[in-house]
Amino acid sequence: MRRQRGDRVRLSCPPVPGCRCRIRGLGRDAALAERLSRMGILPGMALEVTRVAPLGGTVELAVDPGQRLALRSGELAALDCEPLVLPLSHARLFGDRPLRVRGFAGGRALRIRMGARGLQPGTVLRLLDGASSAPRMVLAGGDPLTLGRGEARRVLVEPADAH
């Protein structure tokens, strides 16, 4: 993470489905900022990565009022965004804070499987080894849990102190 003007840490939204961010700034690329702003995409808005193209490199975003956009991941990375919801696989971007399960990017089968392991919407947990993409964690009850890499991408978490 690079330091920007002042003390603000420049954050960005990783190009993974389920990631939800709030735009803080449109980035330093003036051409990109102008093009986004004229479409009404401005600081303060929330955006969510809904899909990654099969060949990679391009993401689909849902922007606040039901608008869908395609953007390249490089351009997404140029935006200054504060993550609101992240998949567990990228939850280290939240730092050391306790996390709460927000939902699952998947169907009923995934929900049941995760429920059986103690994860359901609202479960609070703390990451032990955030650096690995197959994260180990402790649930609020004290039970340790390790998820597979694929599973971790589909469990969406937010900081437990968020509303």
Q: Which is nearer to other proteins, 33 or 88 (CB)?
A: 33
Q: Which is nearer to other proteins, 52 or 140 (CB)?
A: 52
Q: Which is nearer to other proteins, 38 or 161 (CB)?
A: 38
Q: How far is CA 117 from the centre of its chain?
A: 22
Least Cβ distance, residue 5 to other proteins (angstroms): 7
Per CB under 8 A, residues contacting other proteins are 5, 25-26, 29-40, 42-43, 51-58, 60, 62, 65-72, 75
Q: Which is nearer to other proteins, 68 or 113 (CB)?
A: 68
Decide if 73 contacts 15 (C-beta within 8 A). Answer: yes
Least Cβ distance, residue 128 to other proteins (angstroms): 30
Cα separation, 49 vs 82, whole angstroms: 13
| 3-class SS letters over 88-122 | HHHHHHHCCCCEEEEEECCCHHHHHHHHHCCCCCC
Cα separation, 2 vs 5, whole angstroms: 10
Least Cβ distance, residue 50 to other proteins (angstroms): 9
Least Cβ distance, residue 43 to other proteins (angstroms): 8
Angle at 84 between CA 79 and CA 86, to 5 degrees: 90
